[in-house]
Amino acid sequence: MGLTAASFLPEILLAKEITNENYTMANNNSYTLKNVLLETGFKYDNQHITSTETALYTIDIADGKIANIYRNQPEKDCIDAKGLLMLPSFRDMHIHLDKTIYADKWQAVNRKGGGIKGMIALEQQIIPELLKNSTYKAEKLIELLQANGSSFARSHVNIEPTSKLDSLKHLERALEHKKDSFDAELVIFPQHGLYYTDSLPYMKEAAKMNIDFIGGLDPTSVDGALEKTMDTTIQLALDNNKGIDIHLHETGESGLKTIEYLIAKVNENPTLKGKTFVSHSFVLGKLDNYQLENIAIQLANAQIGIISTVPIGKLIMPIPTLMNHGVHVMTGNDSIVDHWNTMGTGSVLQKANLAAQLYNQVSEFELSRLLKLATAGPIPLDDLGNQQWPKIGDKADIVLIDASCSAEAVSRISPIRSLIHQGNIIY
Ligand SMILES: [Zn+2]
């Protein structure tokens, strides 16, 4: 089937400047980009990195992959990237595409108190209404992410007695509509407590569907049953060959115990290594240095990742310490605009910028490293300045950004001019 850019071009992006040439070329999955700026190394003054070296290249894209990278050929008749910097496309690793009021009527957060259980009661009341047009809103949210350079998301999706499997089914429909331009992995999320409400039967059913991770929520403060809830969650993952990604907001002793319990269980079941994650894990922001270093080493050894929205306020997450110990830290917007929070921008590059400000990562080198938060991993240069992305054969998941280097992109939240998803030019 021939893909056309126009058929999946989000409305929100139509205002962007798109040349006729791009339209024509996007009809074909094989094309060439010239005048593409790539990072090639660091410039040093003695041992100190002062700036990033770059050069222009011409790049062939074929069958969704980077087929060739060669010396720039400005005279070639092909798509002109006009000197824009090529970076790996971004990935929002924690979002709730299934329950949002984005593209719907504005409503400020209206908490009625009662903490997390109060929010569960609120959801039980509003979810039937939210579900009525949740497919449409998820598609609009995906378009917002794309406009901000993301063509991939890890979305949590409510599984509880109010939604039953409807949140999941509605989101699957949206993802099907967007399948040529956007990919997602799904976490089935017992938002109302695995046992606090009777969510387990629905979780068991959803675990057999086309999903990637078993989710969870505050096993002590919501279910009052740390071990029982964690054991069930872990067993669901093992039985269905899925990963784990739990929401953990608990900041006290129970939060730390939950992380320690999860580390022990992952070490007992090594198939879970590399596919187990704790979202938020605010308790890590409450530990003293000794405790933190100790737990960071254990998390890295068990290959358990941490997903943080890079919170600001009283609690500062120890993201640099975790990264320095080799813990895979990723970020996401979580809420864009919904009953939990209305401040989401849709940009994970903005999250990397926020981290740079919070942790005073202002040098060329430090800023360039934080691009990892936006891409969920790959960045053009390794710590020694060797080029490690793009390589021939890499998936053509690309943004073209109006910046001279990664450090500038993070510092300035530079504008995204083009998004390419598996070779398809989205805009
Ligand atoms: Zn969340």
> Is 128 within a domain?
yes
Residue ending a domain, among 367, 388, 417, is 367
Position 186 pLDDT exceeds 90: yes
Both 120 and 86 in one domain: the answer is no
> Is 374 within a domain?
no
The average pLDDT across 139-166 equals 98
What is the distance in A from the centroid of ligand 1 to the CA of 91?
15
Both 135 and 34 in one domain: the answer is no
Position 182 pLDDT exceeds 60: yes
Cα–Cα dist 339/234, whole Å: 29
* 3-state class (DSSP) for residue 77: coil
Q: What residues have a C-beta under 5 A from ligand 1, the ion? A: 334
Both 173 and 309 in one domain: the answer is yes
What is the distance in A from the centroid of ligand 1 to the CA of 66?
33
Residue ending a domain, among 367, 391, 406, is 367
CATH of the domain at 399: 2.30.40.10
> Is 394 within a domain?
yes
Both 69 and 166 in one domain: the answer is no
**H or E element, residue 137:** helix 134-147
User: Could you write out the DSSP letters of every residue in 15-39?
Assistant: TS---HHHHHHHTSS-EEEEEEEEE
> Is 167 within a domain?
yes
Task: Please provide residue 297's backbone torsions phi and psi, each rounded to the nearest 5 degrees.
Answer: -65, -45
> Is 135 within a domain?
yes
User: What dihedral angle (degrees, nearest 10) is formed by the CA atoms of 133, 137, 138, 142?
Assistant: 160
What is the distance in A from the centroid of ligand 1 to the CA of 375?
19
What is the distance in A from the centroid of ligand 1 to the CA of 188?
11
Is pTM beyond 0.85? Reply is yes
CATH of the domain at 268: 3.20.20.140
Q: What is the pLDDT of residue 112?
A: 84
The average pLDDT across 25-52 equals 89
> Is 27 within a domain?
yes
Cα–Cα dist 350/333, whole Å: 10
What is the distance in A from the centroid of ligand 1 to the CA of 247?
6
What is the distance in A from the centroid of ligand 1 to the CA of 93?
10
Position 275 pLDDT exceeds 60: yes
Q: Using CB atoms within 10 A of its CB, is residue 278 exposed (0-12), middle (13-18) or buried (19+)?
A: buried
Both 257 and 352 in one domain: the answer is yes
What is the distance in A from the centroid of ligand 1 to the CA of 289?
27
What average pLDDT does the chain have?
93
The average pLDDT across 131-159 equals 98
**Amino acid found at 46:** N
Percent of the chain with pLDDT over 70: 93
Asked if residues 307 and 331 have their Cβ atoms less than 8 Å apart, the reply is yes
Both 64 and 107 in one domain: the answer is no
What is the distance in A from the centroid of ligand 1 to the CA of 154?
10
The average pLDDT across 173-187 equals 97
Q: What is the pLDDT of residues 404-425, one digit of tens each?
A: 999 999 999 999 999 999 999 9
Could you tell me where the beta strands, DSSP code E, fall in 209-324? Answer: 213-217, 243-248, 276-280, 304-308
Both 53 and 100 in one domain: the answer is no
What is the distance in A from the centroid of ligand 1 to the CA of 193?
14
What is the distance in A from the centroid of ligand 1 to the CA of 105?
21
Q: What is the pLDDT of residue 22?
A: 44
What is the distance in A from the centroid of ligand 1 to the CA of 191?
9
What is the distance in A from the centroid of ligand 1 to the CA of 94?
6
The average pLDDT across 150-176 equals 98
Q: How confident is the model at residue 206 (pLDDT cuts 50, 70, 90)?
A: very high
Position 1 pLDDT exceeds 90: no
What is the distance in A from the centroid of ligand 1 to the CA of 292?
23
Both 275 and 397 in one domain: the answer is no
> Is 375 within a domain?
no
What is the distance in A from the centroid of ligand 1 to the CA of 92?
12
Both 112 and 214 in one domain: the answer is yes
Both tokens of 63, joined, read 């069958």
The average pLDDT across 111-128 equals 93
Beta bridge partners of 31: 61
> Is 372 within a domain?
no
Structural domain harbouring 125: 91-367
Q: How confident is the model at residue 5 (pLDDT cuts 50, 70, 90)?
A: very low
Residue ending a domain, among 367, 400, 417, is 367
Q: What is the pLDDT of residues 241-256, one digit of tens each?
A: 999 999 999 999 999 9
What is the distance in A from the centroid of ligand 1 to the CA of 187?
10
Q: What is the pLDDT of residue 111?
A: 86
Both 388 and 316 in one domain: the answer is no
Q: What is the pLDDT of residue 28?
A: 55
Number of domains in the chain: 2
Both 205 and 280 in one domain: the answer is yes
Position 394 pLDDT exceeds 80: yes
What is the distance in A from the centroid of ligand 1 to the CA of 216?
10
Both 28 and 100 in one domain: the answer is no
Q: What is the pLDDT of residues 327-376, one digit of tens each?
A: 999 999 999 999 999 999 999 999 999 999 999 999 999 999 999 999 99
